[in-house]
């Protein structure tokens, strides 16, 4: 049976993605973790394939409109795809359902959310400060920097499913300041498709994808994206970006607090267990527990 709350969540995220252009991972993954209590690795894996499905449509639209700068896409992918594969191998070694992987996903997700919020708030200031300097870079330097950005995005996206939206757009704006905004967005979306697909397939192979959940989320999100895109021109962009950035920061703080609380509980549990074992060992050598020496 389809849970209407999941459909409504998908619709809400799709609406915001359509209105702001920010990747759904920065919204959907925290929502699945905090609201529905889904394990972080499952939330990330499901969201990656969900993102691959939704961004494919956007990539096709930009391809038809010829608003994709393919050299930038190829350079990003040449860094992000190998980085994603290596990151997935590391996650496999950590066992995705284990506590170490859960903590890693939550911490990287917090970092990625704050990075995304910073990109939303300070994008114009960053561009004003560095645009002229970046315009003087040679073609080879720009190409190498694009590959390095791809590596960073590959690691971030594979662990947290966040980073291919606002962060990717900001990086491309800095590296390719002469490209029109439509080409920047189109290139970012085109690069996100193979990255989220490879990372999502990797998470599926590791057993951290909920296919039924992904289908329900798509039912809600696809109409939400269409409606959000229609409403985007009717809502001030600055207000939307600041509102979304505030939400992302609050979510990052909540995730960080939860992780700190769980870590404290784990340390306390380990301490209690060690104390109990020590008491048992004392009791085993004939020292009565609770009596004076």
Nearest to 279 by CA among 269, 267, 287, 271: 287
Residues 6+ apart with CB under 8 A from 88: 158, 199, 202, 203, 206
Contact between residue 200 and residue 56 where contact means Cβ atoms under 8 Å apart: no
pLDDT band at 289 (very low <50, low <70, confident <90, very high): very low
Nearest to 73 by CA among 220, 171, 162, 201: 171
- Averaged pLDDT of the chain: 80
User: What's the mean pLDDT in 109-128?
Assistant: 85
**pLDDT at residue 160 is higher than 60:** yes
pLDDT in tens, 201-235: 999 998 888 888 888 888 888 787 777 766 655 66
Nearest to 102 by CA among 254, 24, 208: 208
Q: pTM above the 0.75 mark? A: yes
pLDDT band at 293 (very low <50, low <70, confident <90, very high): very low
């Amino acid at each position: 049976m389809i849970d209407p709350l999941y459909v409504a969540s998908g619709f809400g995220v799709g609406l915001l993605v359509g209105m702001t252009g920010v990747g759904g991972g920065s919204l959907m993954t925290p929502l699945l973790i905090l609201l529905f209590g889904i394990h972080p690795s499952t939330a990330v894996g499901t969201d990656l394939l969900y993102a691959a499905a939704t961004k494919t449509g956007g990539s096709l639209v930009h391809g038809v409109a010829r608003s994709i700068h393919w050299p930038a896409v190829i350079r990003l992918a040449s860094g992000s795809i190998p980085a994603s594969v290596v990151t997935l191998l590391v996650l496999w070694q950590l066992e995705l359902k284990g506590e170490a992987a859960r903590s890693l996903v939550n911490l990287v997700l917090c970092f990625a959310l704050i990075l995304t919020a910073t990109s939303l708030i300070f994008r114009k200031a960053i561009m004003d400060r560095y645009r002229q300097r970046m315009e003087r870079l040679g073609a080879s330097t720009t190409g190498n920097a694009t590959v390095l950005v791809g590596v960073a995005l590959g690691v971030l996206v594979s662990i947290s499913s966040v980073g291919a939206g606002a962060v990717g757009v900001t990086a491309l704006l800095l590296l390719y300041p002469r490209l029109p905004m439509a080409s920047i967005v189109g290139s970012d979306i085109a690069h996100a498709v193979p990255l989220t697909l490879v990372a999502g397939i990797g998470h599926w192979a590791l057993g951290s994808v909920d296919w039924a959940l992904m289908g329900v989320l798509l039912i809600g999100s696809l109409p939400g994206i269409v409606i959000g895109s229609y409403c985007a021109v009717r809502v001030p962009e600055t207000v939307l970006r600041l509102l979304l950035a505030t939400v992302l920061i609050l979510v990052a703080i909540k995730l960080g607090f939860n992780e700190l609380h769980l870590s404290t509980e784990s340390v306390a549990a380990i301490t209690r267990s060690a104390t109990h074992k020590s008491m048992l060992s004392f009791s085993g050598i004939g020292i009565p527990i609770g009596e004076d020496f």
